[in-house]
Structure 1
Amino acid sequence: MRYLRYACTLAMLVPSPSAAPLIRGSVMKLMNRISTYSIAASFFLVIASASASQAIKTSLFQQALQARQTAEAVQASLLSPRNFSKAMKFYAGAEQKFKRGRNLASIRTDLAAATQNFTKATQASKRAQRQLAALIKTRGDAEKVQAARYSSALWQRAEQKFSKAVGDLERGAHKSAKRRAAEADRIYRDAELNAIKSSYLTEARLLLARAEKLKVSKYAPKTLQKSRMLLQQAEKALSDNRYDTDLPRNLARRADYEAKHAIYIAEVVKSTRAKRLTTEDLILDWETPVKDIAAAADISARLDRGYESPTEQIIIYIEDQQSRSQRLGQDVNTLQAEVQQLQRMLGGVSKERVALSGRLEAQARVREQFEQIEKMFSRNEARVYRESKEVIIRLVGLSFDVGQSTIRPANYRLLTKVQQAIQAFANSNLVIEGHTDSHGSDTANYALSQRRAEAVKQYILANSRINASKIAAVGYGETKPVANNETTRGRAKNRRIDIVIRPQLTGY
């Protein structure tokens, strides 16, 4: 404004026509500066306004956004579509109203409705995850083999049944939801079966045909024959039990792998012959990866007696690192929980300090007892873990005959150690958990895992003074794997009994 007044004054004081051009030039310069300052001021006002608007939106939408993110984390759009869709409509409506500068009260009303429906969707999704757990797993299995691509018609039918089952569950129509879930489960399995045949078996057949053209049987006959046998087993498994797709899927993948393996071996043999390499050259070449892996584990690989010794050392090293990592993770979780508890209790009255002292003493006793139990078992007998307030003894050395639940005499010594470990935590509650791998039907696996858990429970009761009310047996079937079901070693780890000890200590 100062510049504007100055310009006007100059204009009024023009002394003569000869001085006019000079004065006009000065005035124009001043007007240009005024215009520039006005534009800059407008620009900064726009930025400030946008920033303030975003801050208001962040504050206004925060609760609804958190509710939305929580719902999305539990797949609410899939498991509670009605509630989630309703919530999204309110949320989108609130965004549009905010964008158009509508009344804040109206926006808050929409956001409150969105939050309420997102919360309903989250709760409904969690119920669905519990009540439709088997169906969700079956759908996931079909999804993994790309049933939507290889068996699109069946997949669409199954998806429709799934949506109706979820909708029934949302409305509280449990009987209808259960019936439709069973129908969807069957169709998903059919879609998965078709997809396996179309993808895995077809791929293996194409690879075997390629191997024939390359005359692989001349160079790798054993590996090629293994692929053929696995393919036949996969086809037979699919025909014998169409509802257990885990086994045929695994067999098909292995057939696929062995066909590729045979082709690779044939190429190596051809290359070896072309380069006129000796057997010694091959052995020295193949020793290099073993040495490199051993060196990474700080192990000196001595191969003067073959691969067995360094291989075993490397396996032990890896298993130790896995156990250590798991232990450290458990310790971190425990310590974080303790820190939070301490933060809540510190600074309180004398009574709270006494309770804190008792809690710390109880935790110290648990740690000491845990270390004692850990030392009782060899690595081939059991692994001992801590999860929050629980102590878990994973009986890796306890085995059953195929499909059986009878305790064998060979396991008596290990179970005696288990009883001694349990005694270290007097009056604790115990849960014997039975687990299986993924081969076999879900129903059969649940039943087998329950029988095995019950057998261990009865053995412990018969050979100790534990109160029967303090011990429970639960079978989980294949639902809680700890390793990859696609490998022999992984399936062996998943077939297990876990002893879960829940200490009953004062202050703990």
Structure 2
Amino acid sequence: MVFRTQKIIASLALAGVVAGCASTPPNVQSISSTANPTTEIEKTEMMLNDARSKQVDVLSPENFTDASKALQKAKEKKEKNKSNEDILEQVSYSRAWLEQANAKAEIAKMSVGSDITDAREGAMKAGAPKFFPKEWDKNGKELEKITHAAEKGNLKPSDKRGEDIVKRYRELERMSVSQAYLGTAKDNLDVAKKDGADKNAPKSYSMALMKYENAEKMIMADPRNTNAIARASQDATRESQHLMDVTRKVNAGNSEDLVLMAERQQRQISNLRSEYSSTEQELQQVQTEAERRRMELEKQQALLNRAQVLRSQLKPNEAEVFTENGKLMVRLKGLQFPSAQSTLGPKNQALLNKVESALPGVTPSKIIIEGHTDSTGNPAANQLLSEKRAQAVENYLVSRGTISVDKVEAIGRGDAEPVSDNSTQHGRAQNRRIDLVIETE
């Protein structure tokens, strides 16, 4: 310990840090009068905040206080519209005091122990100021005495009490974590024991105590292993609440064995109910799926029946009738257009008359008339031609009065969806076609 003190004193001498505080800080670095006072004040404020986060205000309190006071004077001078030189002089004083504070904070850490800041911060984050205010204040005052002495060059107090202060902060952290996570469980155990739980409900008491002690051991081993501590503490709290419940029932005239047996039976009943509920839900899901499939099959069968109605009234060489994606498809094979034309001749009109007569039997809710071309010519021209062909069919069917105009839509597909080989004359003739896509009610 003596060797460490001598080493630190040597560090003090080498650093040129003088003991005590003067009215003017040492090593003042002047700031150019052309600097912006607002910017320099803000920059110094950030430097102070950074030092505070490193606990320099605790490890070198006098110097840090002087730095803060000097910065406050700079702000006051700025508010009073004093000269830039006066304002920046106080800012330079603040930085000099802060530099002194940083240097002495490092010396204090060497003297008290390099992990003093970690120990103090751990206790603070764990809630020591709230859970154990007296102990926190007492330790803080002890640390303040040591750091004040260190600022004046006296390192004997830190040599003597530094390690003990670090240990007390570590202990405060563990105590605070225990209070935060296990406070309810501890209170429940104390109340239950006061009510005779250790004698009248020994099984439940032993279990609750074991869960509590397991969580305590975890905290003692590593108070910052929060996830594991949280799980163990929840387990301990739940078991302590169970102990309270068992103790009340035992004190009401029941034996612990009877109370625990009743709980087991209740759990069995609850499990059975849960299993029954799950089975019921699964059965309901199966029934729902079966009903959905039944309805889908009925819908498909109804569509097939409608397809058969159309098929029976149109010859195979006139139209191909099939179902696709829940819709009726009528490919009018007998309705063909000469190349590059959209005019409906007598033969095409005769076929459309048959289609019109058959449509009421399938109760259409909407008919999409798709016009198609072969691949001869320009694609853009083919698109326009397919639209004209579809529109010609729509106009003819609507003019007959059987189909309402709001139930029909004409669409051109161009040459994008051939059904035959465009390299042959026969194939191209088949591609110049009209398809009816019928949605039924």
Whether TM exceeds 0.5 here: the answer is: no
Greater gyration radius: 2
TM-score (norm 1): 0.34
TM-score (norm. length: structure 2): 0.38
